């Protein structure tokens, strides 16, 4: 089983052409790294398809694209687009994050780059400047999601593709019963989007939905376990939770790796992802006219 998992990770490293540095899958003492486990799970869900150049299945990125990644955080989506050779524009309110990401992008094959330290409302960008717009796990943090989405529509070219993700309401509902109240206060999650309300938000902005996707049961349960563990007392969001993790979380990561390595693991994963995903994603398009 360990050979299988390390083989899968080796294949993923080869596809990224040594441009992504990943921690070891399993440490010398048998601990499975949660971030790496989550990444392998994400790839199995159709994300980061290096072979086809799709950030998510149905969202291709080419050298010709101008890709805007708002609320870029650590920059996983930006770096994927950069490795595709696109011109990348990335923004975040955290200047240190933007500075670190800028250094990584500078060493990538991106044909151009623009770094912005700003709020998304407004964006210091001209109308119709981007062909691919990414907003992953950021609308739940903003005061006026509709206004932010309107700003994203403004900067998209006619025919531009949008990849929008927010936490799924099922997992959020569980976390509300377990997490400290600060997790659902500024600057954390101040909006919880029911699935149809999220879709309506997108269509009301004038976009046409092309595909909907849900994944991340692994992270949904991971976060629930985090909140009931004594380490889960500070209200941090997932991206700010750093190792070392508790034995409880390490055992969950190890168990999930074992599960998705089974012959029917993909079926079980797909079922659980549909029941309690961490994130819901929408791929939408701006109409060619107007």
**Range with lowest mean pLDDT among 13-22, 81-90, 257-266:** 13-22
Write out pLDDT tens, residues 207-254.
999 999 999 999 999 999 999 886 555 556 656 677 788 889 999 999
Domain spans, the chain:
32-285
Given a cut of 50, is residue 2 above it in pLDDT?
Answer: no
- How high is the mean pLDDT of the chain? 88
Q: Residues 6 or more apart from 72 whose CB is under 8 A from it?
A: 78, 90, 91, 92, 97, 98, 101
The pLDDT of residue 190 = 96
Beginning with the edge strand found earlier in the chain, give each strand of the sheet holding 66-70 in spatial order. Answer: 112-117, 87-92, 66-70, 130-136, 156-167, 279-285, 208-215
Give the sign of the dihedral formed by CA 210, CA 274, CA 253, CA 45: negative
Residue 213: predicted pLDDT: 97
Q: What is the pLDDT of residues 169-197, one digit of tens each?
A: 999 999 999 999 999 999 999 999 999 99
Give the pLDDT of residue 12.
37
**Helix ranges, 193-246 (H):** 195-204, 217-228
State the architecture of 32-285 in CATH terms: 3-Layer(aba) Sandwich (3.40)
Does residue 205 register a pLDDT over 80?
yes
Digit-coded pLDDT (tens) for 111-160: 999 999 998 989 999 999 999 999 999 999 999 999 999 999 999 999 99
Burial 217-229 (b: 16+ CB within 10 A, else e): bbbbbbbbbbbee
Q: Which residue has the higher pLDDT, 85 or 2?
A: 85
- Between 27-31, 120-124, 266-270, the lowest mean confidence (pLDDT) is in 27-31
Amino acid 230: pLDDT: 62
Is the per-residue pLDDT at 45 higher than 90?
Answer: yes
pLDDT band per the 50, 70, 90 thresholds, residue 7 = very low
For the cut 80, the answer to whether the pLDDT of residue 261 exceeds it is yes
What's the DSSP call for residue 112? E
């Amino acid at each position: 089983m360990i050979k299988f998992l390390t083989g899968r990770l080796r294949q993923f490293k080869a596809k990224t052409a040594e441009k992504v540095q990943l921690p070891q899958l399993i440490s010398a003492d048998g601990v499975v790294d949660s971030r790496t486990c989550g990444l392998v799970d994400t790839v199995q869900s159709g994300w980061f398809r290096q072979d086809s150049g799709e950030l998510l299945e149905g969202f291709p990125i080419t050298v010709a694209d101008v890709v805007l990644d708002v609320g870029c955080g650590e920059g996983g989506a930006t770096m994927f687009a950069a490795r595709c050779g696109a011109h990348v524009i990335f923004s975040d309110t955290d200047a240190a994050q933007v500075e670190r990401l800028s250094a990584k992008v500078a060493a990538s094959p991106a044909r151009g780059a623009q770094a912005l330290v700003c709020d998304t409302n407004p964006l210091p960008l001209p109308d119709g400047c981007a062909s691919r717009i990414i907003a992953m796990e950021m609308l739940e943090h903003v005061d006026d999601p509709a206004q932010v989405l309107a700003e994203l529509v403004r900067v998209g070219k006619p025919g531009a593709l949008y990849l929008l993700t927010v936490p799924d309401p099922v997992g959020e509902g569980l976390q509300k019963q377990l997490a400290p109240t600060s997790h659902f206060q500024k600057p954390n999650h101040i909006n919880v989007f029911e699935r149809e309300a999220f879709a309506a938000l997108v269509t009301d902005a004038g976009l046409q939905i092309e595909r909907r996707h849900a994944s991340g049961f692994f992270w949904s349960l991971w976060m629930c376990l985090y909140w009931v563990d004594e380490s889960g007392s500070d209200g941090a969001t997932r991206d700010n939770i750093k190792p070392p993790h508790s034995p409880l979380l390490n055992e969950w990561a190890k168990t999930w790796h074992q599960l998705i390595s089974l012959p029917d693991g993909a079926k079980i994963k797909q079922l659980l992802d549909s029941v309690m995903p961490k994130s819901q994603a929408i791929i939408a398009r701006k109409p060619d006219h107007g």
